Structure 1
Amino acid sequence: MPAPAPLRRALGVLAVASATAALSGCAFLSQFTGAGEAQRDTEGQVVEGNESTDVFTLRVGDCLNDSGATEQVETVPTTPCDEPHDSEVYASVIMTEDDYPRQEAILERADVECLTEFEAFVGGSWDDSPYDFSYYFPTEGSWGEGDREILCVIYDPAGPVTGSLEGSAS
């Protein structure tokens, strides 16, 4: 997922494209793969991680250990944010189109929306930040099952972090 600073956006998008190429059927498959949800407190924060959290149960604020994700993602490891983690879900974008847009259109929208949300989340410019972003997005297969959500994730190219990166530019 991480890439050298000058190329990080272009390669980050490509890495996410391959890392999340197929989310289709995840809800159905979770019945057979043992995927589930992380344990949450009454405020919805993860208090006990899960090595195979169903991607359709992820929420803004969840911390993930997803740096090893490749090609098709049905589950991702979640962990409490006060423990070392690779990334954090910081925004959710719901697409409203009826028909599946081309993947390029989804990636373009994700790049724009996640950048805007990134700057609001960290409280500063992406250009000045040591952090980068990536995203999970609907595939044609998951779109057919009703998936319309882009999940924006922030990460540190230098490696795992502990705690939330919210307001880190302040």
Structure 2
Amino acid sequence: MLALGTLFVVPPGGAVVKDDTFMTAQTTGILNIEAGECFDDPVYSPAAGEKIVLYKPCPERADNQAYGFLHAADGPWDRAGLAAFAWKKCEQGFTHYWPGEAGSGLDYYPIMPTAETWADGDRDVMCAVYNPHGKLTRSLLPLR
């Protein structure tokens, strides 16, 4: 079943699966999110006339938390190559922060540049962690 257009998939069992098309660098508000910050999924804002992402303090109920940024190598736009790089590097960060059982019940996805933002020099990928079965109720980043 496809929910909210192409934003996320709700497979049988009710878990949300977010992929690298869930949101992009062109999603209004995402560029205001910094590493470690929590934020909600995009929602339509009548005032803005488009879907926007809003920052949420991590102790509040939020949909996602940014856990890192990656810088992709310069070169021509290659969505497939960028997606492979983003998934691999976000997975490395995910297994670093949530190894083994610590990552149980969590998932991650990359938020990537688009062809348009790439043409403007954007080479940054954000890695986000989420709970496929509900909201986050605290920061998921381990204290080190």
Provide the TM-score with structure 2 as the length reference.
0.74
- 1:12 and 2:18 matched: yes
CA distance in 1 between counterparts of 2:137 and 2:87 reads 25
**Which structure 2 segments of 5+ residues have no match?**
1-7, 45-49
2:111 maps to which of 122, 136, 140? 136
Q: Return the offset for 1:62.
A: 1.1
CA distance in 2 between counterparts of 1:96 and 1:110 reads 11
**Which structure 1 segments of 5+ residues have no match?**
27-51
Whether contact under 8 Å (2:108, 2:129) holds in the other structure is yes
- 1:160 and 2:135 matched: yes
Matches within 5 A, 1:74-153: 75-100=52-77, 102-124=78-100, 129-153=104-128
Whether contact under 8 Å (2:106, 2:130) holds in the other structure is yes
Poorly superposed stretches of 4+, deviation over 6 Å: none
The count of corresponding residues between Structure 1 and Structure 2 is 130
- Return the letter of the residue paired with 1:148: R
- Return the letter of the residue paired with 2:21: A
Distance 1:125 1:110, change over 3 A: farther
Percent identity over paired residues: 24
Name the structure 1 match of 2:47. Answer: none
Q: Return the offset for 1:106.
A: 1.1
Provide the TM-score with structure 1 as the length reference.
0.64
Encode CA deviations 1:4-26: one digit per residue, 9 max, x unaligned.
Answer: 59xx8xx532xx31533x62xx7
- Return the letter of the residue paired with 2:110: Y
Distance 1:18 1:160, change over 3 A: closer
